[in-house]
Structure 1
Amino acid sequence: MQPMLATPGALPTGPEWVYEVKWDGMRLLAAVTDGVLRLSTRGGRDVTADFPELAGLTAIAPDVVLDGEVVLLEDGVPSFAALADRLHAPVARTKALARPVTFMVFDVLRLYGVDLRERPLHERRATLERLDTAAVSTVALSPLYTDGRALLDATARRGMEGIVAKRRESPYDGGPGWVKVTHLHTQTCLVGGWRTERGAITALLLGLPDGGDLAYVGRVGAGLAGAPVQRVLSDLLTDTARATPPFGERPPRADGAGAQWCEPVVAVEVAHLGWTSAGRLRQPVFRGVRADVEPQDVRREG
């Protein structure tokens, strides 16, 4: 199964819409088959071992597929940066339980062998609410709201990413039934190189697929400080090193001087202030590695 994605757009209004917080975490499908749990990213990668604290999902039903977002909360607000250290490798159960993630569930795609994806959202939601998700301490039901403007304003005040509007009658089919409205400009990019200073990674050189090439879209240095970020990036990038730049057009000398090049297989997310006329990101800030995004799925997002 492929997760349904929201389309960026203006806030839709009317009684045919409901609204949820856009959780700033890692999108997962949780599939329980014959009592065995499998957690997978939207690209299909198995990450069950990365989140042992979610093993209790098997108690909800012996056969079910749930759609949701794994988050780590700080002061009640999801923090993608805090989650970054949990996205790349299996973790011991004791460490996971010391600071457990929460699986924010917002849809159910299958239950007891019945495929629910063609059912309208309001029916799927009613089915989801009948499940005993509260029995699992690391699972929460993502709340629904009817006032999109009020929710958008509330998420802005709390420094959250934004909201998702969902049409009540929409099936789970990847159509226009989900619209995301965000406060930040964000973009997932591929890393094509990095720069270091005194042993620390100080900048990432970013690209986006453009036909058969990788187009250079800028350099990000802000947001790279901190031991967890440095450790994750170092582990990922060192394993993908190459001798020449992967970009179709070599980055400007000021950006690429002294860079170490890598295969463009590591996806990262940055916040930014828009795009220049030359197709570069304005003032990008690193937010985290997108372990849930496959390189072939990276596209310019606006």
Structure 2
Amino acid sequence: MFISPMLLATAPGPFSHSEFIFEPKVDGHRLIYSQQSGNVRLYTRHNNDCTRQYPELTLPFDSDIILDGEVACTDPETGLNDFEAVMSRFSTRQHSKIQQFIKTLPATFAIFDILQYKGHDLRKLPLIERKAILHGLHLPSNSFGVVPHIEGAGEDLYTQIETMGMEGVVGKRKDSQYVSRRSKDWMKVINWSYADVFIIGYKKAEFGWLAAVPDQSGKMSPVGIIEHGPSPKHKQAFRGVCQQLVTGEDKNHVYLEPRIQARVKMRSWTKSGLLRIPVFDQFIV
């Protein structure tokens, strides 16, 4: 049984509040774990069945249950969540490769909420009561874990997360009910990284600025597409300048001289040298 997950609003920055609990933001992908009549199914936040990809997470609990959390893989060198490893697991359908990944890229289900248990719908209970039930569960194996939380001290936790290079912090109102929509009762604070890039072109059909950075020889190396962040004034300013810098075009893009520089914030650099989810921050003049 799939339940559409509760989604996070974005806080303007780290905060502390006595009516909130705070937990580390797990860098993986959302997972709804459903056990009905002893049958376990796993779903992404968009109701895509991904049971096949994570056999180690299909072990049953002592009773029927629906849980919310994140699938994560750990980088053995850094001890941090490895988002690209999770995406490798998610995109793999071949049985033999999945079996190999169980050993080389084991997945963990980091649980942060319980929605149903033993035939009872728990979503209208206050979060802090759902957490108490969750922490009392017997987990099927060490592939399952409960996300820890603290009360009130969100800024202190964020400082620790920032120092460790983790993704961020989630603040949740203690008395919040579970609703299947985005809510300000749950707030994320992302530990952004920043980079300075050149805009070397743009998409024709939809908004998107092509970003690049100079390599060691000074040649521009593409690093991704900026699709979020600029205000209407930023876009207007870009349009006022870019037509003077056009060097060519193809079916999908217009290309520019690398004269416009911008600062972007992103989750991280990928292992292949691309910006992960770049968001425009400001022009550099």
Q: CA RMSD in A?
A: 3.4
Unaligned runs of 5+ residues in structure 2 are 195-200, 214-238, 254-259, 272-278
CA contact (8 A) 1:152 1:162 kept: yes
CA contact (8 A) 1:52 1:96 kept: no
What's the counterpart of residue 177 of structure 1?
185
Of 145, 152, 175 in structure 1, the residue corresponding to residue 150 of structure 2 is 145
Q: Is 2:51 the counterpart of 1:83?
A: no
Distance change in 2, residues 1:15/1:87 (3 Å): same
For residues 211-268 of structure 1, the C-alpha deviation after alignment (integer angstroms, 9 at most, x for no partner) is xx9632222568xxxxxxxxxxxxxxxxxxxxxxxxxx9x98969845779xxxxxxx
Q: Is 2:132 the counterpart of 1:126?
A: yes
Larger radius of gyration: 2
State the TM-score, normalized to the length of structure 2: 0.67
Of 32, 40, 43 in structure 2, the residue corresponding to residue 40 of structure 1 is 43
Matches within 5 A, 1:177-196: 177-184=185-192
Letter in 1 for 2:71: V
CA contact (8 A) 1:53 1:96 kept: no
CA contact (8 A) 1:16 1:168 kept: yes
Q: Is 2:92 the counterpart of 1:110?
A: no
Distance change in 2, residues 1:12/1:283 (3 Å): closer
2-structure distance, mates of 1:206, 1:260: 9
State the TM-score, normalized to the length of structure 1: 0.64
Q: Is 2:207 the counterpart of 1:216?
A: yes
Unaligned runs of 5+ residues in structure 1 are 187-204, 208-212, 223-248, 262-277, 289-299
Q: Is 2:145 the counterpart of 1:154?
A: no
- Equivalent pairs counted in the alignment come to 223
What's the counterpart of residue 49 of structure 1?
52
What's the counterpart of residue 227 of structure 1?
none
Letter in 1 for 2:38: G
What's the counterpart of residue 6 of structure 1?
8
2-structure distance, mates of 1:255, 1:161: 38
1-structure distance, mates of 2:28, 2:246: 33
What's the counterpart of residue 257 of structure 2?
none
Percentage of identical aligned residues: 29
DSSP 3-state at the match of 1:131: coil
DSSP 3-state at the match of 1:49: helix
DSSP 3-state at the match of 2:150: coil
DSSP 3-state at the match of 1:28: strand
CA contact (8 A) 1:167 1:177 kept: yes
Letter in 1 for 2:176: S
Distance change in 2, residues 1:255/1:13 (3 Å): farther
The Cα of 1:84 is off from its aligned counterpart by: 2.3
The Cα of 1:72 is off from its aligned counterpart by: 0.8
Distance change in 2, residues 1:154/1:67 (3 Å): same
Distance change in 2, residues 1:183/1:34 (3 Å): same
The Cα of 1:301 is off from its aligned counterpart by: 10
Higher strand fraction: Structure 1 or Structure 2?
2
1-structure distance, mates of 2:212, 2:147: 34
Distance change in 2, residues 1:214/1:115 (3 Å): farther
What's the counterpart of residue 231 of structure 1?
none
Matches within 5 A, 1:63-102: 63-74=64-75, 75-92=78-95, 93-98=98-103, 99-102=105-108
CA contact (8 A) 2:68 2:113 kept: yes
1-structure distance, mates of 2:48, 2:125: 26
2-structure distance, mates of 1:47, 1:301: 32
For residues 5-46 of structure 1, the C-alpha deviation after alignment (integer angstroms, 9 at most, x for no partner) is 111013342221111001110111010111111111111010
